[in-house]
């Protein structure tokens, strides 16, 4: 199923991209992704139900996920074509998992518990996706279990989208993993839930 290319201004895309890159610097991650890369990525065909670029741009941590995923795909030497996802499913799945890990690390670092709660059903869906290789499925299961564990000790949010930046709420803050194609600064699709 082809995704629709965005019709709204590139200024909005550039602003969201810059904000996401600033968020990534909180966990010492840098990505080499342009606004044009992001637009091309969303024009690519995907076998999964997917969120639109406009929907992703409204959630900064989803933009982070997409930037990391695109960066990993580019570092693998893949070109961002209309069929990059369909023709490189295993590579893109690995990039998606890495993006989900970074997204979760950043959400924890920023205390964005509502975002983790929002993503939990997506993570569960990724664990059940029959197209995912067994090794990636086991890593998705670990990610899902880790998110559930973190949320068990996280403050409860009263309103969707709210978060607490206060104390760690009694859980330990997990340091981000910086391997698998993501470089430290200067020195994420599955099942019934949307792929993003």
pLDDT in tens, 102-154: 999 999 999 999 999 999 999 999 999 998 999 999 999 999 999 999 999 88
Residue 103 to residue 122: CA distance in whole angstroms: 13
Cα end-to-end span (Å), the chain: 15
Radius of gyration of the chain, Cα coordinates, nearest whole angstrom = 16
Residue 192 belongs to a domain: no
Global pTM value:
0.77
Residue 195 belongs to a domain: no
Residue 3 belongs to a domain: no
DSSP string, 55-108: HHHT-HHHHHHHHHHHHHHHHTT----TTHHHHTHHHHHHHHHHHHHHHHHHHH
Maximum alpha-carbon separation in the chain: 45
- Residue 14: the pLDDT is 94
Residue 5 belongs to a domain: no
In the beta sheet, which residues pair with residue 184?
A: 29
Look up the domain containing 70 and give its range: 10-184
Residue 189 belongs to a domain: no
Give yes or no for residue 15 having a pLDDT over 90. Answer: yes
Residue 28 belongs to a domain: yes
Residue 196 belongs to a domain: no
Domains of the chain: total: 1
- Per-residue pLDDT tens digits for 60-98: 999 999 999 999 999 999 999 999 999 999 999 999 999
């Amino acid at each position: 199923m082809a995704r629709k290319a965005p019709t709204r201004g590139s200024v909005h895309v550039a602003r969201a991209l810059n904000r996401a890159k600033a968020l990534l610097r909180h966990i010492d991650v840098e990505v080499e992704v342009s606004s044009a890369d992001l637009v091309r990525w969303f024009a690519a065909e995907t076998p999964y139900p997917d969120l639109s670029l406009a929907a992703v741009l409204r959630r900064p941590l989803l933009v982070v996920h997409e930037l990391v995923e695109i960066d990993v795909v580019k570092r693998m030497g893949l070109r961002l074509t209309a069929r990059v996802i369909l023709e490189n499913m295993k590579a893109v799945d690995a990039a998606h998992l890495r993006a989900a890990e970074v997204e979760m690390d950043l959400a924890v670092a920023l205390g964005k518990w509502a975002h983790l709660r929002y993503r939990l059903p997506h993570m569960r869906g990724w664990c059940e996706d029959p197209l995912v290789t067994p090794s990636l499925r086991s890593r998705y299961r670990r990610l899902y279990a880790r998110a559930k564990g973190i949320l068990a000790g996280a403050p409860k949010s009263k309103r969707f989208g709210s978060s607490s930046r206060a104390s760690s709420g009694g859980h330990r803050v997990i340091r981000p993993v910086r391997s698998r194609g993501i470089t430290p600064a200067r020195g994420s699709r599955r099942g019934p839930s949307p792929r993003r």
